[in-house]
Amino acid sequence: MEKILILDFGSQYTQLIARRVRELNVYCEIHPHHKAPEIDETVKGVILSGSPFSVLDENSPKPDLSVYRKKLPLLGVCYGAQYLAHTNGGEVMPSNIREYGRANLSFVDKSHQLMKGVSNFSQVWMSHGDTIKRMPEQAEVIASTEDVEVAGYHITGEETYGIQFHPEVYHSTEGSILLKNFIVNICGCKQEWTPQSFVDETVADLKAQLGNDKVVLGLSGGVDSTVAAVLLNKAIGKNLFCIFVDNGLLRKNEFESVLDQYQHLGLNVKGVDAKSKFYSALAGVSDPEAKRKAIGKVFIDVFDEEAHLIEDVKWLAQGTIYPDVIESVSATGGPSATIKSHHNVGGLPDYMKLKIVEPLRLLFKDEVRRVGRSMGLKEELLGRHPFPGPGLAIRILGDITPEKVRILQEVDHLFISGLKKANLYDEVWQAGAILLPVQSVGVMGDERTYEQAVALRAVESTDGMTADWCHLPYEFLAKTSNEIINKVKGVNRVVYDISSKPPATIEWE
C-alpha cells in the first residue's frame, strides 16, 4: 500500500495534514520526527510539519533528513520549510512582525509543479514568528506575500520544496490544490486508498491474523466499536463474541435499543445488566477521577467474568482509532504517554492474557464513518454523537444515585429528541445535559419549589480537540426548557452552557 510519511514536530495542525492527504484517497502515517520509520518502496513522499519551536532554539527538533533528501519528494511546511533552509546554508531569523492569520500570495511561479493551478492573490494561512531571510544556494522562490518574500521555494536538482504557510487549514483557500500537486503529480500517488479498499484489505488481513481463533469485543453503542464489530464479523463470523454491558449510566432506553440494532446487523451480542454492581461501587463517590476508576474496575470485573464464559477465547478486539495511536507518542521527544483506553476495555489486567486486535487503528473518526457507510450501516447509527465512556456518571456532578440517573436520563432524552425533531441533531457534534449539585427556588402553580437545576450543552467540533458552543435557536431552547421543567419531576431550572473549548472542556468532569 503506497503511502506518504508525515514527520511531526509538534504542530497543532499535524493531524489536519493527514486528513487532507487522506481526502485525496492516499494513505499516510504520522510519525514523531525522532522515531521515523525506514523507507521502503511503499513510501512515495515525505511531509515535514510545523512546530511550536523556532529552528533557532537550542532544544528544537533536529532530525537527520539525509535518508529522504534526493531519494523522495520532500515538502517542508512552516517549521519544516525553515528547518530545510536553516540546515542547507540559508538564514532564518526572527521576523520584525510575527505573521499570524490570513495573508494573500502576491507572487506565484506557476511553472513549478507544486504551484500549478494556484492563483495569484490566493488566500493562505500564516503562523510563524521567524522568517527565511536568505535561501539556500540553488533554491528559487516560487511564492511570496507582500510581507514574506520566501513564502515558498524549490531546491533545484531535487524534488524538495518548502512553504511558509499552512495549506492544510481551511483558511488556505487553494491549499488542497497545492497538496494534490505534491502528492499526486510530484509523488505519483495513485489515489486508490478508498473506504471499500480499506474494508477488503482489512477483512483479508483479519482472516489471516485470526484464523479460527475466538475474539471477544466490548461494544459501547458508539460508532467505533460498532464498525470494528462489523469488520470482524465479515472476517470471522460466529467466532466473534460481543458483550454490551449496561452500567446503569446509559441514556434512556439505550441498552434495549442498541441491542436491537446490533441484532439486526447479524452480530453475536450478549447484553449484560450490571446496573446494581456499578451503583454499589459508585455510592458516595463524588470525585470525578474516583468515579472513573470505580467504573473502570467494575467494567473489567464484569467483562472478565463474561469473557471466561467463552471457551478458548484468545483475542480482545478494541475500537481504537488513529488519534489514540498518535497520542501515545510525544512528537517533541519526551517519554511516550500511554495509549488511552477505548470504550472502557483498554487497560485490562494481565491475568486475562488476551492478544489485542484493533481493526480501526489506521483511521480517523470521519474515515470510520465512511467505512461504516461503505458496509451499509445506517446513518442513524453512523451519525450518533460521541458519548463519554463513564456515561452519565460524569454528567452528574457529585455522587451518583439511581434517582439522579433517572432525572438526568429524562432530561437528556427530551433534549436529544428535541434536537432530532427540530432537525438540529446533525448540526451538533455532541450534546447532552448535566445535573448540577444545585437546588434553586421555583414556583409551580401557587406552590414554592426547591428542586434541581440542569445545564444543557451542545458543541460544534470536528475531532473534539477544540469546540465552539452551538448557537441553538432561542425558540428551541425556550421550548426545551419548558418541556423539561413540566415533564421531569425534580427539576425546576434549566440553563445553557455557552463555554467553548478551550478554555472549558466539553464535559464538565
Which residues are catalytic, by number?
78, 166, 168
d(CA 317, CA 188): 35
d(CA 463, CA 18): 13
Find, among 88, 93, 79, 64, the residue nearest to 137 by Cα.
88
CA distances from 167 to 107, 141, 213 (A): 16, 17, 45
d(CA 482, CA 30): 48
Q: Which residue has the cell 514527520?
A: 7
**Which burial class, exposed, middle or buried, applies to 397 when counting CB atoms under 10 A from its CB (0-12, 13-18, 19+)?**
middle
Residue pair 307/313 in contact by the 8 Å Cβ criterion: yes
d(CA 84, CA 77): 10
55: which residues sit within 8 A by CB, 6+ positions away? 79, 82, 83, 86, 92, 130
d(CA 149, CA 172): 18
Instruction: Assign 91 to helix, strand or coil.
Output: strand
Q: Which residue has the cell 546554508?
A: 89
Give the pairing type, strands 430-444 and 447-460: antiparallel
